[in-house]
A and B are shown apart, each in its own frame.
Chain A
Amino acid sequence: MTATDEDLGVAVATWGLPGAAVPFPSAPLPDERWQALSAAVRKARISGLFAGAVAGGAMPVTPAQRQDVAALHAQAMAVTVVLDRLLIELSTRLGDAEVDHRVLKGAAVAHTTYPDPSWRQYGDVDLLVPSAHYDRALAVLAAAGCERSRPQLRPGFDRRFGKGTTLRSADGHWVDVHRTLVMGPFGLSIRTDDLFTDATPFTVAGHTVQGLGRDLRFLHACYNAALGDTHPRLLALRDIAEMVLHDAVDTEAALSLAAAWEGRVVVARAVQLTWERLRIADRVPLSEWAGRYRPSRSEARALLRHLGAGRRYARTALASLRAISGLRAKAGYLYALALPSRAFLDERDLGPVQWLRKGRDSVLRNGASR
């Protein structure tokens, strides 16, 4: 994308936000620019904001362009209503089985954070369950026709050490079942019990489900934006901006929790990225704090390990080992890494010896790069 195309993307991503500083064009775009913008909106999954900007008159369009936007957004909304129906079914089944759970990300953010859920599209269902209920949750979802997309390292690994599991529903939609908010040492440092201390109820077609509490939801958005991709999506940043500017996050409470999770650097990075990339003019206490934040050496190292070039497996594994408490748990983690299940290896077309060699080579490369 050219610099000007990036401006347009940011204008769309910040439509409706106070302090949005990037203007829309004053006239409909010529064809080639319009095609580029539409493609960028589709890729960034911000069709809801695009439709809002057109409907509200902020983005001038020709009649044909308006039809393009309508088609793009309607397509996205067709996916979200199917996912909402799936969410209702799965949440009902989990509730009937007395499995505590929270709805995360897309559906939860759309219904609790945005003024209009049609502004926020999503492409899958995300659920969080307590570690103690993890296996039972997966059994309930399997009975609903949701199958694992990939085998876990060893039986019980995902429940004990993983971020979660990805399932595929009977009609082909992705269902992510989370145990914590992010993979690796940052995820292992999260006190997962904290995630269930609060909740935000919301209704989907008359059915009440539980999302994370407001401050937890904000923290999750930060972890997702700061650690999910090296270059976070505009939508992930818009979520954070929406929460900070409209959702009245309790800064002190959120940062206190982040500190307990050794994640203040994550929040700082997420908010810094949001304000910089979305070019938000309004300054609020949290954005000021993030701008002034200076990570400690250990925080900087932890962030670099997570985001560093190639995200080397050995580096992440070793850092995860440090984050795991207790010798027995550390031993279980190492055992799983060294001796994965046959199903795990078969899925990757590897034998046990090849797997060990890959691990050895990765460790050696990690040592060489220090």
Chain B
Amino acid sequence: MTPTGAGQPARTGPVADAAEQGVRWVRADPVVWRRSLDQVVLLPPAAGEPMALSGAAVAAWELLAQPQPLAALVATLAELYDVRPEAIEPDVAALLTRLRELAAVRCEP
């Protein structure tokens, strides 16, 4: 099982473009997942094996039950963890990029 936290280096590109266009992010339907104590175990359509989310990625996954723009997601997580939004935005963007690559999340207008 592949662990994925929220400590990935920032990436530019698709997520930044999406933020500019004001699109919203949401969990994709065909993702099988379970909550497991302090983790979320999920099997996205494009993943060959299950992966685990931990730390703030779990909170992000829970929030992504509802469509929301990147900025709102970042703001909520920042408040939850008592940090400045700009400190975590690159990590959140990286997480969304990875989850979208695996078809675990999708964008909607």
Which residue of B30, B31, B34 contacts A80 across the interface (Cβ within 8 Å)? Answer: B34
- When C-beta atoms are compared, the residue in chain B nearest to A83 turns out to be B32
Known contacts A82-B50, A85-B43; decide if A118 and B36 are in contact (CB<8 Å).
yes
- When C-beta atoms are compared, the residue in chain A nearest to B29 turns out to be A206
Interfacial chain B residues near A69, Cβ < 8 Å: 37
Contact B36 A205 (CB under 8 A): no
Among listed A71-79, A264-272, A276-284, A331-339, interface-contacting one = A71-79
Chain B 30-59 near chain A by CB (<8 Å), digits 1 or 0: 111111111101110000011010000000
Contact B30 A81 (CB under 8 A): no
Chain A binding surface SS class:
helix
Contact B35 A74 (CB under 8 A): no
Contact B30 A77 (CB under 8 A): no
Known contacts A51-B36, A51-B37, A118-B34; decide if A74 and B29 are in contact (CB<8 Å).
no
Contact A78 B50 (CB under 8 A): yes
How many whole Å from B102's CB to the nearest CB in chain A? 13
Contact B37 A81 (CB under 8 A): no
B1 within 8 Å of A (CB atoms): yes
Interfacial chain A residues near B39, Cβ < 8 Å: 70, 74
Number of interface residues of B (CB under 8 A): 18
Chain B binding surface SS class:
strand
Contact B29 A205 (CB under 8 A): yes
Which residues of chain A from 82 to 101 have a CB within 8 Å of any chain B CB?
82, 84-85, 88
Chain A 57-70 near chain B by CB (<8 Å), digits 1 or 0: 00000000010011
Contact B32 A74 (CB under 8 A): no
- Taking beta carbons and an 8 Å cutoff, which residues of B are in contact with A? 1, 29-39, 41-43, 49-50, 52
* Top 8 A-B pairs, shortest CB-CB distance: A206-B29, A81-B43, A78-B50, A77-B41, A77-B34, A70-B37, A84-B32, A81-B32
17 A/B residue pairs, CB under 8 Å, sorted by A: A51-B37, A70-B38, A73-B37, A74-B1, A74-B39, A74-B41, A75-B1, A81-B34, A81-B42, A81-B50, A85-B32, A85-B43, A116-B35, A205-B31, A205-B32, A206-B29, A207-B30
Given A51-B36, A82-B43, A205-B33, 11 additional A-B pairs, CB 8 A: A55-B37, A70-B39, A73-B37, A74-B1, A78-B1, A78-B52, A81-B33, A81-B34, A84-B43, A118-B36, A205-B29
